């Protein structure tokens, strides 16, 4: 359970940092690239065994880490833009409502248990996510800005599902730091290639603030992935249970943070969603 709490805390911190990037006018993409370099460095520092290029290339999860790295930098960019353009809670909802994708995958592929109590909890969780995100007082035309949340929803669901698959089939407990470092390393390489292309076209203006912001973001990002994998490897934690509790808790708490720290408005419908989220977490946890 401690790994679940730590993964939720790290993920919440990421959303808050994204919102602060806009407030302090930090170059978002540069901060994201720095974040992946920092996360890679931290992951590499935590690798205890000696690693050769041959061992790395022959790892079962190597190609998977390349794919997830590419997905991560795209998702992080979309997550930041959504938080800044649509609001903190909408970004959290768009990424965490994707919980349904890894849940269905876990039930079908890994034969996670599916009793009536868990079904009710999952349905309540999805309804809660919608109620928390539905805002009557907002200046954002959600239909007009649907593309970013939709891409974030699909990408987050596929990313969580693939990470779940790899940790079941390829990533050992001792291999978590190396796997995490490779994921972040490939994301950082892709980001630097993009920045390099902008520099060649004289479109790059370096933002010194992105270094400190990216460093903080990188530590939270590494912790998020590390503790997600650790939680999924816990013997008593089914993936359907983990993703339901993890994602609903993040949506609920991020909404409260948006209320008190970023002055986002909450309606009665939103509060009803928060209450349903608590009930959903209880039902799924003790199913």
Q: Which residue has the higher pLDDT, 134 or 213?
A: 213
Domain count, the chain: 1
Q: Shortest CA distance to 255 belongs to which of 278, 223, 226, 229?
A: 278
Q: Which residues contact 124 (CB under 8 A, 6 or more apart)?
A: 276, 277, 279, 280, 283
pLDDT of residue 216: 93
Structure confidence by residue, pLDDT tens digits, 158-214: 888 898 888 788 888 778 888 888 999 999 999 999 999 988 888 888 889 999 999
CB 223 within 8 A of CB 255: no
Buried b (16+ CB within 10 A) or exposed e, 46-83: ebeeeeeeeeeeebebeebbbebbebbbbbbbbbbbbb
pLDDT (average), residues 126-133: 72
Residues spanned by the domain of 72: 2-285
Structure confidence by residue, pLDDT tens digits, 214-249: 999 999 988 988 888 888 888 777 777 787 788 778
């Amino acid at each position: 359970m401690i790994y679940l709490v730590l993964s939720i805390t790290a993920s919440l911190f990421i959303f808050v940092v994204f919102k602060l990037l806009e407030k302090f006018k930090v170059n978002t993409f540069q901060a994201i690239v720095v974040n992946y370099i920092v996360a890679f460095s931290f992951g590499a520092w935590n690798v205890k065994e000696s690693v050769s290029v041959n061992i790395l290339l022959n790892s079962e999860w190597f190609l998977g880490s390349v794919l997830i790295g590419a997905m991560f930098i795209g998702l992080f960019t979309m997550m930041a833009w959504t938080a800044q353009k649509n609001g903190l809670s909408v970004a959290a909802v768009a990424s965490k409502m994707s919980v349904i994708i890894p849940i269905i995958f876990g039930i079908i592929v890994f034969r996670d248990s599916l009793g009536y109590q868990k079904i009710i909890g999952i349905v309540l969780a999805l309804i809660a996510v919608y109620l928390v995100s539905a805002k009557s007082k907002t200046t954002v035309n959600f239909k007009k800005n649907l593309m970013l949340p939709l891409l974030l929803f699909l990408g987050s669901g596929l990313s969580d599902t693939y990470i779940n698959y790899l940790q079941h089939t390829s990533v050992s407990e001792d291999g978590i730091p190396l796997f995490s470092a490779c994921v972040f390393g490939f994301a950082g390489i892709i980001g630097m290639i993009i920045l390099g292309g902008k520099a060649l076209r004289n479109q790059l203006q370096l933002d010194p603030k992105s270094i400190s912001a990216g460093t903080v973001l990188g530590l939270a990002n590494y912790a998020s992935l590390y503790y997600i994998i650790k939680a999924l490897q816990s013997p008593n934690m089914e993936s359907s249970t983990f993703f339901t509790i993890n994602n609903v808790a993040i949506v609920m708490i991020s909404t409260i943070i948006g209320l008190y720290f970023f002055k986002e408005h909450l309606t009665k419908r939103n509060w009803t969603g928060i209450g349903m989220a608590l009930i959903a977490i209880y039902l799924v946890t003790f199913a």
